[in-house]
A and B are shown apart, each in its own frame.
Chain A
Amino acid sequence: MAGLMAIAVVGLTLLFRPPSTTDFAQAYSPQNYEEMIATVETIGQEPIQPLPSNIQWPPEQVELGKHLFNETNLSRNQQMSCATCHLLQSGGDDGLPVAIDVEQLPMDFNTPTVLNSGFNFRQFWNGRATSLEEQMAETLLNPREMGSSWESALSFLRNNRSYQQAFQKAYDGNISKATVSHAIATFQRSLITPSPFDAYLRGDQQAISADAKLGYQHFKNYGCIACHQGVNIGGNIFQPFGAIRKYRSFFGLNGNTVTGEESGSDGSRSDIFQKEMLQHGPSSEHFKVPSLRNVALTAPYLHNGNISNLQDVIQMMASAQLDRTIAPEHVHQIEAFLNSLTGHLPGEQVGEQDV
């Protein structure tokens, strides 16, 4: 009888135990792209939306992620950290045409900015990573980048007293692939830079100059907005390089004749867009449309860093993608608009951004 009573008591205690704090924790901190986008408040009919201002992340995880972001011991030669290429104070990239690898040799692509990268639907120029966690893991393991391995990275973290304490606070002491990449990704998602243009979108007419306002109108009229739209002004779509011109040759405009039928291989689907690109390596023709936030700080431009001037790149993109030239005064105004997209990290002084 006493045994039955004991079982009943234990069962009821287990059944009605109070929920642990971790059951509800982090309910309002976005964990991936779709949750990031879900936090955006839609204001007006503009194709560009302001950055959200109401996201809260667990401060312990962000703090830990910041330390990991700057931790050189995670790399093979113990000299490289994420911050080596992604300098938060100068636009979140390295200011070089193409990245320099661990052997000090140039790599294939220009370093994308880490700022607002949480609002990119995919990571890398060709979008092969669907999350910041994936991106982080690939960079850590890539022999030309940090060149490390999970075993060495985890063993370093597990034997470090301050990291043990930090992980204890943020993840109940669980040091694993999942928590390490989550911490770094959470830190990256927290790197949001509200800009004067966001204030303008929220209704502050004095936030940006008249030139910038005109530049925004030109940006829309010339068709830049067709690709650079959304909360991140890009970062949610793929485009081939030379989009308009491509069609002339594609639809058989050779010898000045245009046919009514597509010349696609299967007749029903166009292969303008190479589907394999989503799964396989980089393509020389298709790129993720990059975000234009902080574009003034992230020179040189384009995937290969060919152009170091903002006006030049405006002209270049207009002719390459839109098949037209833009008047110099319009270029100037668009540049003013792009400058108004330069934001600042929440903790930073506004003045530092101008340096």
Chain B
Amino acid sequence: MFSKFRLVSFSLKRSELSYWILLGLLLCMLTFSFFKAWNSYLAQEQSALQTLYELGVTQSQINLELLTVYRTPHNYDSLAMETAYLHQQLMLLEQKVEYLPLPSALMQLFQQIQKEAEQFQADIEEFKATNSILVNSWQYLPSRIKETVTELSAYPDLQSQLTRLSQGLFAYKVAPANRDTVDEREQIVSLINQIYQNLGSISLSIANREAIEALLDHGIIIVHLQHYLGRQVLQFQQSPLKNISQNTEQELQQMLFEQLYWITRYRILFACTALGLLGYGGYLYRLRYRNQRLRAIALDLESKVNKRTRQLNQALVDVKRSQAFLVQSEKMSSLGELAAGISHEINNPTSFILGNLIHAKEYVTTLFRVIQLYQAECPSPSPKLLETIESEDLDFIQNDFYQLLNSMDNGANRISKIVQSLRIFSRLDESGSKIVDIHEGLESTLMLLQHRLCGHPARPKIEIYREYGDLDQIECHSELLNQVFINLLNNSIDALDNYWEKKQGLSLKVNGLSSSALPVPGSASVQPLQNSHIVDKEPCTLAKAKASVSCLISEKPDIEMVSETDWQPRIWIKTQHPQPGWVQIRIRDNGIGISEDIHTKVFDPFFTTKHVGEGTGLGLSTSYQIVVDQHKGELVLKSAEGQGCLFIISIPCQKML
């Protein structure tokens, strides 16, 4: 449990966790203070208090009305109205209090109010009924007594008794309600009793007797009801309903005051919390906004840095490439100049040789004809001469000399051809872009590479397959393009060499054969040349040149592979127009190939897989520079390890002839 919490808490950032905790606390406080501050019963309690207050007012009104109607002829509409108000308010109060959660003491007080109010209302109805009778008696009695007294002139006793009754009642009437009137009451009652006794002793007319009895009835009513009603009015003024409702009002008010006291504080707390929450929310919102902006700026910066880094890398690559190109082109240009100088220097002597050889042949022919003539003219030469002829083997010389001359002729021709190739390759005589034949450049390049193409003890001869298309002449820097060709072809030859070495190593291991048992590759074509008479530092070169030329023409391998596999080192060269306006040269070999990992790197300057000292790592990058940058073309490599590689050079030919 704890570890889980820790996990959660650590998944949030520490600072974020504290934000959330504070936010949660504020929300809790808000909810708490809200429920405390908005008491749903407060309004009902207040309205109950209001009703209680109105009840008190109505009671006072009723008391006022009671005093107004007491003993005076009046209509009861106002009193009935106030009583109805009281009834209405009591019902309202009952409804309001019914569902209020009040303390039991208060509830009891409210129940007492209802009970007392019932009594109060009944008392009022009784008061009204009794009061109207009393008032009637008062109104009726004085005039009636006067009438009756005048009618009873025959009975002075009765007259005086009735007069005394009238006076007594009048005195009783004007006495204050709160005065103790027991004595007066007793006197009047005894007077009434005396009159009754008198009535029994004297004979009267029935009408008079009934009139006197009625008078006495009213007298009784006055005596009893005035006393009774006076007490009632006083009781109304101090009715228990009034006390209880006042007590209840005070209690309820006290309760409400206390509630309001706390509610006010909770409302203040609520307002403060709400303000705090708002402020804090705003602060968090602002923080989040700023964070977002910072993140956006950081992202922007990062992308800018990346962009700049890419640009710098590109610039570095460009610088390296142009540096390499400079190095290479400088090298090539000095080499070209050297080659041009040499070829020029060689050309002269070679032309001497070639020119003189013709004459030499003529002279030799002439000399041999002279010798034959000598032999014919003098069939018997001196023995010394014969001995010399014999010892020197003149016949052989005669035969061999022509061969020798022919061989010299061949050699000199080859020299001039090589020199021509050198000149074509370097094109130093033609600077800038020229309209050239790509095939011519390819052939001259192949010529210069003859020494590497031919077979040698380590590897069989490399076969060249040409698939020259019907190419238009294009405008280009031919000396640069020739450099590209030589670089690519060199690479292919290296790859074939490597592959052969690898295969040999493999077969050695697999077959466990001794090196002497190995068939010597290319021996079939090379062997005879080794026996040649020609003293040549590079016997292979010449022979290979011939051989390769023959194979170039035949386009078929004339050397049989003696390895147990059918693999033979081959290079395919194909030229074509892939689409109008473009020339494509595809150079393919079946060598070791280039693994795909380094495809992106092979065109980088100074990148090489060769051993230190063997390669500069500049060949392919220079080629790329020449094709892509200077000729606005494309140089594409397609290869996989062990499957040979294919370079595709595509050059736009803007001006087609």
Q: Which residues of A contact B (CB under 8 A)?
A: 32-34, 37-38, 40, 47-49, 121, 130, 220-223, 225-227, 229-232, 236-240, 243-245, 247-248, 251, 253, 256-260, 262, 268, 270, 272-273, 275, 278-279, 322-324
Contact = CB atoms under 8 A, between A and B. Distances in A.
Given A37-B80, A251-B224, A258-B193, A323 B217 contact: yes
Given A256-B197, A258-B193, A239 B129 contact: yes
Contacts of B221: 244, 247
7 pairs of A and B residues whose beta carbons are closest in the complex: A275-B122, A273-B126, A226-B136, A37-B81, A223-B136, A236-B80, A230-B77
B75 A47 contact: yes
A260 B214 CA distance: 18
B224 A247 contact: yes
A249 B81 CA distance: 33
7 contacts: A34-B81, A37-B78, A236-B128, A237-B125, A258-B220, A260-B186, A278-B122
Contacts of B1: none
A322 B214 CA distance: 9
B77 A236 contact: yes
Contact of B140 (A32, A223, A229): A223
Contacts of B419: none
B283 to A, nearest CB: 14
B136 A251 contact: no
Given A238-B128, A248-B220, A256 B77 contact: no
A253 B220 contact: yes
B582 interface: no
B187 to A, nearest CB: 10
Interface in B200-229: 200, 214, 217-218, 220-221, 223-225, 228
B3 to A, nearest CB: 38
B276 interface: no
B185 A236 contact: no
B75 A48 contact: yes
A273 B130 contact: yes
Contact of A272 (B74, B121, B129, B196): B129
B133 A244 contact: yes
A230 B78 CA distance: 9
B162 interface: no
B197 A225 contact: no
Interface string B81-118: 11111011000000000000000000000000000001
Contacts of A278: 118, 121-122, 125
A3 to B, nearest CB: 12
B130 A257 contact: no
Interface string B249-260: 000000000000
Residue from the set A33, A34, A270 with the largest chain B CB neighbour count within 10 Å: A34
B189 interface: yes
B74 A229 contact: yes
Interface of B: prevailing SS: helix
A226 B133 contact: yes
B126 A275 contact: yes
B192 interface: yes
Contacts of B87: 130
A257 B193 contact: yes
Given A229-B76, A273-B129, A260 B189 contact: yes
Contacts of A256: 193, 196-197, 200
Contacts of A260: 182, 185-186, 189, 223
Nearest to B79: A236
A229 B217 contact: no
B85 A259 contact: no
Given A47-B73, A48-B75, A225-B73, A270 B80 contact: no
Contacts of B126: 270, 272-273, 275
Interface in B128-146: 128-130, 132-133, 135-137, 139-140
Contacts of B182: 260
Contact of B189 (A47, A231, A258): A258
A275 B129 CA distance: 12
Nearest to A257: B193
Contacts of B192: 258
B119 interface: yes
Contacts of A47: 73-75
Contacts of B73: 47, 220, 225-226
B129 A38 contact: no
Nearest to A38: B81
A34 B92 CA distance: 15
A283 to B, nearest CB: 12
Contacts of B76: 229-230, 236-237
Interface in B4-29: none
B506 to A, nearest CB: 76
B77 A37 contact: yes
A273 B220 contact: no
B135 A49 contact: no
B192 to A, nearest CB: 5
A229 B84 contact: no
A248 B217 contact: yes
A27 to B, nearest CB: 17
B531 to A, nearest CB: 102
Contacts of A48: 75
Contacts of B189: 258-260
Contact of A49 (B77, B132, B137): B77
Given A247-B224, A322-B136, A237 B84 contact: no
A229 B133 contact: no
Nearest to B278: A4
A237 B80 contact: yes
Contact of B81 (A33, A225, A239, A247): A33
Nearest to A264: B228
A48 B186 CA distance: 37
Nearest to A31: B88
B77 to A, nearest CB: 4
Interface string B130-168: 101101110110000000000000000000000000000
A238 B129 contact: yes
Contacts of A245: 217
Given A237-B129, A270-B228, A121 B80 contact: yes
Contacts of B128: 236-238
B125 A273 contact: yes
Given A47-B74, A278-B118, 17 more contacts: A32-B84, A38-B81, A40-B77, A226-B139, A236-B76, A236-B80, A243-B129, A244-B137, A247-B225, A257-B193, A258-B193, A258-B196, A260-B182, A268-B231, A275-B123, A278-B125, A323-B217
Nearest to A288: B125
B125 to A, nearest CB: 5
A329 B136 CA distance: 22
Contacts of A259: 189
Interface string B46-78: 000000000000000000000000000111111
B122 A247 contact: no
A257 B186 CA distance: 13
A112 B192 CA distance: 41
Given A260-B182, A260-B189, A272-B130, A229 B75 contact: yes
Contacts of A223: 136, 139-140
Contact of B119 (A237, A240, A244, A275): A275
A324 B214 contact: yes
Residue from the set B126, B133, B214, B225 with the largest chain A CB neighbour count within 10 Å: B133
A243 B133 contact: yes
A247 B182 CA distance: 19
Residue from the set B77, B79, B228 with the largest chain A CB neighbour count within 10 Å: B77
Contacts of A239: 129, 132
A238 B231 CA distance: 20
Contact of A244 (B121, B200, B218, B231): B218
B122 A130 contact: no
Contacts of B136: 223, 226, 322
A342 B182 CA distance: 48
B426 to A, nearest CB: 78
Nearest to A256: B196
